[in-house]
Structure 1
Amino acid sequence: MKVLILRPSYVPEISGGTHLAVDLVEDMIANDIEVILVVPAPFRADDKVKEEYRNLKTEKQFDDKLIIHRINIFAGEKSLFSRALRMFLLTVGMFIQSLKTKNVDLIMSHSMPPFLGPISTLLGKIKKVPVLYWEQDIVSESLITTGVASKGMKKKLFYSFAKNLEKISSKGSDHIITISEDFRKRQISMGKPEDKVDVVYNWIDTNQLKPIPRRNNLMFQRYNLDPNNFYVTYCGNLGIPQNVEILVDAAKELQHIKDLRFLIFGNGVRKETISNYINNSGANNIKLLPLQPLEEASHVYSVGEVGVVIGRKGTARNGFPSKTWSIMSAGQAIISCFDIDSELSNFVREGECGIAVHPDDPIALKNAILELYNNPLQTKEYGRNARNYVSSKFSRDAATENIINIAKELEQSKKII
């Protein structure tokens, strides 16, 4: 069986979903599935990596069972227009490259960039193979919650356009995998038959991402961190949905506590904005550090006693932060500053992994941090609970096996027809 996968990133790109792609590809190959991967060239990476991959268009790995085609587009993301242009050009490049790919049995697509789903359904019709759509994001809802399209005609046009792209992706796909029960219900409400939609929660490999003692943690040496401090960390994307400013506000309110420190490991379109916000806040207890390579994720997520997940109000309608499982797998207590009735916040409460507070509320966030700082034994208990919870419910093996079985059944069903 040979699968063509189109997705928004792959190693060495540093992004939230990269480890999911790596795990799935490795496990597909272990199950005798050949993979052809069509992805953008690394964009959120340092200059050395970008230069290395500038002219590297094709790679072969795993004894040629994995072929990676990388599409290089020279367009930035400094404005909404440039981001949209980059997404469109990438999609065109990925479509052309995918057309050249022969003898595939299945196409697996992704919800980002938003044009990827529709062109994958077109590819499925051209190649006469089934399409499996992996819905990680809901762009139409994201436009609203991030304020990109918040009012008037702009809201109506942007929202309608994104909604139509999602409908095309949904209707044209033979099967859909969503990352939450809420996403599944939404697909069914759009007319997709229940037996054509499955939930596979994002996962974490707890054998790979595990707690690292501070004496062995590379981050403490690399960034000259005092191992005697109590650390609160945010790790991940610095975009519009992530209202990271409230963490800076909370840090400023708590800077009188000398051994309480805040670290942001992040990158994204708002990195410069967040850096300026920190500098202008006057907070002296918070550092903005670059995202680290995927292979050092255990070190990054083990730095702090507490890991924070932040999303603006309504963000739960358009995504699920995969960093949640990384925080838990590293044995950190978690503060979910997210929609209070979301699956994420429910998981935090159900697993007794930390504290869930309302989004966009720096005072609630500050109070949650104080509660964990003042109760170190409870914080350690939350961390132990978190690792146990994610190990038992969101393991890599069960999740990738589920996706692989869906792909195989889909490919076999088309052969029967």
Structure 2
Amino acid sequence: MNILFLTISRINDLKVRGIYTDLMREFMRNGHAMYIVSPYERRFHLPTGIMESGGARILKVKTLNIQKTNIVEKGIGTLLLESQYLHAINKYWQGVKFDLILYSTPPITFNKVIQTLKKRWNAKTYLMLKDIFPQNAVDLEMFSKQSVLYRMFRSKEERLYELSDFIGCMSPANCEYVLKHNPAVDAAKVEICPNSVELQERSKRDKEQSELLKELNIPASKRIFIYGGNLGKPQGIDFLLKVIEENEKRNDSYFIIVGGGTEYGKMKIWFDTHLPQNACLLAALPKAKYDELVSLCDVGLIFLDRRFTIPNFPSRLLSYLEYKMPVLMATDVNTDVGQIAEDNGFGLWTENGNIDTFMEMVEFMVEDERQIKEMGEKGYRFLCENYTVDKSYKAVMKHF
């Protein structure tokens, strides 16, 4: 089949690991032709054009900045995407017959592209639902349900679900949420299509012998907890800072925070002001160095804002499981990521904001080396059984 994948992820090299690039390679291994549309944000000063990588054709479309920018440019840029993408597809791939159109949220503004190409080629459409917008923005008080913005985006969301022949959700709670809040959606087209990775052999490294830990001035003698990923409003950064502050009372646990995002500046100011001895903040690292750092850590961390009413399922969980690390989670009560971790023995959960319970979980992880190893092994097994790209591929392809 000729498969078109629409995304706002920056895909330039199909060999780079990620939940989308890994899945695209799986489609290609199974004989499908991949056509990918991805943005060139204006900050890169590059024109719209075609490139190839790993056998996939990638159409890079010049757009406004839509990530890590101010809310006004992000909003306008997101609304312009469908027209920009459709114009570029018509220019470069007018004669290509697409059998399947794949797309993920965010954004919810590909309706014009999907509708046009679906009608043109009688193509099937599959939504990989990674983000439930605009409700997540309402939860974070970016705008209200009474606003014009909410009504406009909600209308686009409903139309997106209507245009999609199938909707693949990340977890059971996601499926339940979509059906409960969208009664017009046929339950038969809603299913689980999880975040997934192409497994690679990962080995834990010796902390005591690590030159990287010495370089970063991270104490190898302490239990090392790592948070890697976006540092934005969805992560509930205030509680993460509270945890780091509380952890200063200990002498056997160390927190590494790696990433970037809209709240990175706030975190940098806090670190520069408080100068914690049991934590460090690192800007985004090169992939190889980040992977090496993760291999030296003991426990993975996931934080989500407690105000969420939608069930997020962070993809960073997968890298922790791949390195056989147990996971500590502080989230809202609506996501099922914590329940899944506890039910399957690879993590501990508490509601974001519950500092006493979270520090008890830290104590548990520091105390019991054997338990950490067992939980890490259980997490790796769960990853192998549930979150590999062949599972996502089969979820999509069982319809064809």
Measured against the shorter chain, the TM-score band is: 0.7 to 0.9
For residue 196 of structure 1, report the CA deviation from its aligned partner: 1.8
Report what 1:226 is aligned to: 219
> Is 1:147 paired with 2:141?
yes
Report what 2:36 is aligned to: 37
Match for 1:333 among 322, 326, 332? 326
> Is 1:182 paired with 2:150?
no
Preserved CA contact (<8 Å) 2:330 2:353: yes
Preserved CA contact (<8 Å) 1:108 1:132: yes
Match for 1:54 among 32, 46, 49? 46
Separation (CA, whole Å) in 2 of partners of 1:228 and 1:56: 50
For residue 387 of structure 1, report the CA deviation from its aligned partner: 1.7
Report what 1:5 is aligned to: 5
Match for 2:99 among 105, 119, 133? 105
Preserved CA contact (<8 Å) 1:336 1:356: yes
Residue 157 of structure 2: SS of its match in structure 1?
helix
Preserved CA contact (<8 Å) 1:71 1:90: no
Separation (CA, whole Å) in 1 of partners of 2:368 and 2:102: 46
Residues 373 and 133 of structure 1, relative CA distance in 2, 3 Å threshold: same
Separation (CA, whole Å) in 1 of partners of 2:208 and 2:60: 39
Separation (CA, whole Å) in 2 of partners of 1:18 and 1:150: 37
Greater shift after overlay, 349-358 or 101-110? Answer: 101-110
Report what 1:72 is aligned to: 62
For residue 105 of structure 1, report the CA deviation from its aligned partner: 1.8
Matched residue type, 2:151 = S
Preserved CA contact (<8 Å) 1:206 1:395: yes
Query: Structure 1, unaligned stretches of length 5 or more?
Result: 44-49, 410-417
For residues 2-45 of structure 1, the C-alpha deviation after alignment (integer angstroms, 9 at most, x for no partner) is 111101114459xxx961111111111111110110011379xx
Separation (CA, whole Å) in 1 of partners of 2:140 and 2:270: 18
Matched residue type, 1:249 = K
Residues 334 and 291 of structure 1, relative CA distance in 2, 3 Å threshold: same
Report what 1:164 is aligned to: 155
Matched residue type, 1:319 = N
For residue 333 of structure 1, report the CA deviation from its aligned partner: 1.6
Preserved CA contact (<8 Å) 1:121 1:169: no
Greater shift after overlay, 320-329 or 210-219? Answer: 210-219
Preserved CA contact (<8 Å) 1:234 1:263: yes
Calculate the aligned-residue CA RMSD, in Å. Answer: 2.8
Report what 1:307 is aligned to: 300
Separation (CA, whole Å) in 2 of partners of 1:181 and 1:25: 24
Matched residue type, 2:39 = P
For residue 214 of structure 1, report the CA deviation from its aligned partner: 3.5
Aligned residues: 392
Match for 1:94 among 68, 85, 89? 85
Report what 1:138 is aligned to: 132
Residues 163 and 55 of structure 1, relative CA distance in 2, 3 Å threshold: closer
Greater shift after overlay, 131-140 or 379-388? Answer: 379-388
Separation (CA, whole Å) in 2 of partners of 1:366 and 1:109: 39
Residues 395 and 128 of structure 1, relative CA distance in 2, 3 Å threshold: closer
For residue 368 of structure 1, report the CA deviation from its aligned partner: 1.7
Preserved CA contact (<8 Å) 2:311 2:334: no
Query: Structure 2, unaligned stretches of length 5 or more?
Result: none
Match for 1:84 among 75, 98, 122? 75
For residues 264-315 of structure 1, the C-alpha deviation after alignment (integer angstroms, 9 at most, x for no partner) is 1111122112212333344332221123344556424323211111001243
Separation (CA, whole Å) in 2 of partners of 1:229 and 1:292: 22
Matched residue type, 1:95 = L
Separation (CA, whole Å) in 1 of partners of 2:272 and 2:247: 16
Greater shift after overlay, 233-242 or 351-360? Answer: 351-360
Report what 2:349 is aligned to: 356
For residues 204-249 of structure 1, the C-alpha deviation after alignment (integer angstroms, 9 at most, x for no partner) is 3332555444468674365343322221111111111101232221
Preserved CA contact (<8 Å) 2:139 2:309: no
Match for 1:125 among 119, 122, 126? 119
Separation (CA, whole Å) in 2 of partners of 1:285 and 1:343: 30
Preserved CA contact (<8 Å) 2:166 2:190: yes
Greater shift after overlay, 338-347 or 261-270? Answer: 338-347
Residues 8 and 305 of structure 1, relative CA distance in 2, 3 Å threshold: same
